[in-house]
Amino acid sequence: MHMDSPSSFKNTLIAQLFQQNYGWLCRRLSRHTGCSHSAEDLAAEAFLQVWLLPDPAAIRSPRALLATIAQRLMYETWRRKDLERAYLQVLAEAPDQVHPSPHEQWMLIESLQAIDRLLDGLSGQAKTVFVLSQLEGLTYLQISERVGLSQARIHQLMKEALRCCYRGLAE
């Protein structure tokens, strides 16, 4: 046998992982997703993430790693679906208003997801304050009237939100 290049060694290694674990991961995921196509997509994505690791040869327990990565991916897609559904429901509840076009809706949901991710881990109050300040452009006085908190408290919540944003950006 001739010497393999590092990349073909990596391919062989991952292919082996694939062969041994792809079916297992798909079955495991389709129990959660209830859809074999989604499970296949998730599984393929999880393997790609493993392929991107600097040293896949060092992986001790591939199944645990694959399951962890796939689960994180699944949470992301679930969250996206929850957000999208909640948004569409609000639209449906206000039928008399002019609805955004499908494209606008798409952009709004995309942005909704980005904001959700950015503010992940913050309290509901801090999220509300941040959104009212940054997206509606309200002053702290206006926000305090709207939500019934003191301006000093608004300032404090805003700082929490900014700290969270900075952390999100640094990642």
Partner 1 sequence: MSTDERDDPVLEEAIEWMARIQSGAFDSQQQRALELWRGQSPRHAQVFDQLLKGLEAVQASPWRGRTSTPLLRALEQPSSRRRFIGNSLGVLGVALGAGLFGRWLQSGMGLPGEWATGTGERRHWQLDDGSRLELNARSRVLPRFFDQQRALVLRKGTLLLDIVENTVSSFEIATAVGVVHSQAGRLQVGEEGAGIRLLTLQGDVLLRLPNGENVAVPGAHSLLFDAHGVLSQASLQPGEGSWASGWLEVNDKPLSWVAEAFRPYLPGVVMLDDKAAKIRVNGLFPLDDMPISLEMLERSLPVAVSRYSDYWVSIAAISTSLS
Return the residues of window 77-96 that contact partner 1 according to CB under 8 A. Answer: 77-87, 90-91
Residue 135's nearest CA partner among 164, 149, 114, 106 is 114
Query: Which of 67, 115, 125, 149 is the binder for partner 1 (CB under 8 A)?
Result: 115
**Residue list 26-85, contact with partner 1 (CB under 8 A):** 33, 35-38, 40-42, 44-45, 47-49, 51-52, 69, 72-73, 75-85
HSE-up (13 A, CA, CB side) for residue 96 = 0
Does residue number 104 form part of the binding site for partner 1 (CB under 8 A)? yes
Q: Count the Cβ atoms, other than its own, within 10 Å of residue 143.
A: 23
Q: Please state the separation of Cα 87 from the chain's center in Å.
A: 16
CA distance 31 to 126: 36
Tell me how far, at minimum, the Cβ of 60 lies from partner 1, in Å: 20
Query: Which of 111, 123, 145, 150 is the binder for partner 1 (CB under 8 A)?
Result: 111
CB contact set of 40 (below 8 Å; sequence gap of 6+)? 26
CA distance 154 to 143: 8
Minimum CB distance to partner 1 smaller for 60 or for 103: 103
Tell me how far, at minimum, the Cβ of 8 lies from partner 1, in Å: 8
Instruction: Give me 116's structure tokens.
Output: 């959700």
Tell me how far, at minimum, the Cβ of 133 lies from partner 1, in Å: 5
CA distance 64 to 122: 29
Query: Which of 6, 57, 103, 148 is the binder for partner 1 (CB under 8 A)?
Result: 103
Number of residues that bind partner 1 (CB under 8 A): 90
**Residue list 2-21, contact with partner 1 (CB under 8 A):** 7-8, 11-12, 14-16, 18-19
